[in-house]
Amino acid sequence: MLKKFFAKNEEDSVDTSVFDNLKTLEDKILYSFKNKDLLLTALKHRSFISQTIQERIDSNERLEFLGDSVLNFIVVKHLYKTYPDLDEGELSKMKSVIVSGENLSLIAREMNLGEHILLSEYEERAGGRDKSSILEDTFEAIIGAVYLDSGILKSEKIIKVLVLEDIKKALENTLTRNYKSELLELVQSNGLEPPTYEVISEEGPEHEKVFTVKAIVDGKEVSQGSSTSKKRAEQEASRKALENLDLLSN
């Protein structure tokens, strides 16, 4: 059954090394597929199917689409339960770090995923095995394949080991980044007075207040930020101010 993935016609030979590599890959992701066809599909880049007379739909793109959603759900669930004191803005920033193409391609490189991907000869010569976009998409396709093979609990277990186990440093960097200091440095480098912050609203009961703060640069409001504390609201306003000022400078 698996030969259909490789044979251009009945007379074509099958590269048996691909079958050997499957076990190595399964060892890396700590999961053995019941349906090996799912893993093979997850490894098929669209360039590969063009030389094996298959349809575009036979590539790993549908599995990548599914895996992306599974990964996002598991990561959000993990962050929500692990950091009960953070608001949705901070959780969103953390999630963006974890599921970013940069992070996923880094994970894929560390497990040498590129050596298992099925590519056309042209794409391989063009360095496809180390392209971040291909590595990211294939990694997500594997997550989608695991989900179809064994469901959400097994997918969550694998994601926790491969993605969530070693993210503490990256998340700490995200949480401890001082946007107020960065904004101060930026405006002073342009000869302006230090930015000021003003609370414009307080909403909710005393134990669940949400503060909204505006950041003022050169006498003008440049952004607003909301959070459950004034300090975090100022940080959020500063973060948005940096984005807005960067856009204005382009």
Arithmetic mean of pLDDT, 130-151: 95
Helix axes of 230-249 and 179-189: crossing angle, nearest 10 degrees: 40
Asked if pLDDT for residue 5 goes beyond 60, the answer is no
Length of the chain: 250
Q: Would you place residue 173 in the very low, low, confident or very high pLDDT band (cuts 50, 70, 90)?
A: low
Distance CA 164, CA 135 (A): 18
State if pTM tops 0.85.
no
Region 186-190: mean pLDDT is 90
Q: What is the reported pLDDT for 96?
A: 85
Among 28-32, 133-137, 147-151, the range with the most confident prediction by mean pLDDT is: 147-151
Please give the positions annotated as active site.
68, 140
pLDDT at 131 over 50: yes
How many CB atoms sit inside 10 A of residue 5's CB? 20
Better-predicted residue by pLDDT, 171 or 96: 96
pLDDT tens string 113-129: 999 999 988 888 988 89
> Please, which pLDDT band fits residue 4 given cuts at 50, 70 and 90?
very low
Token reading at 37? 């066809």
Model pLDDT for residues 20-78, shown as the tens digit of each residue: 778 899 999 999 999 999 999 999 998 888 776 667 778 999 999 999 999 999 999 99
Beta strands in 186-245 (DSSP E): 196-203, 210-217, 220-227
* CA separation, residue 233 to residues 91, 172, 195 (Å): 14, 18, 14
Q: What is the pLDDT of residue 66?
A: 98
Per-chain mean pLDDT for the chain = 84
Share of the chain above pLDDT 90, in %: 49
Q: Rounded to whole angstroms, how far apart are CA atoms 101 and 124?
A: 20
Residue 103 pLDDT grade (very low, low, confident, very high; cuts 50, 70, 90) = confident
Phi and psi angles of residue 199, each rounded to the nearest 5 degrees, phi first? -75, 125
Residue-level pLDDT at 2: 43
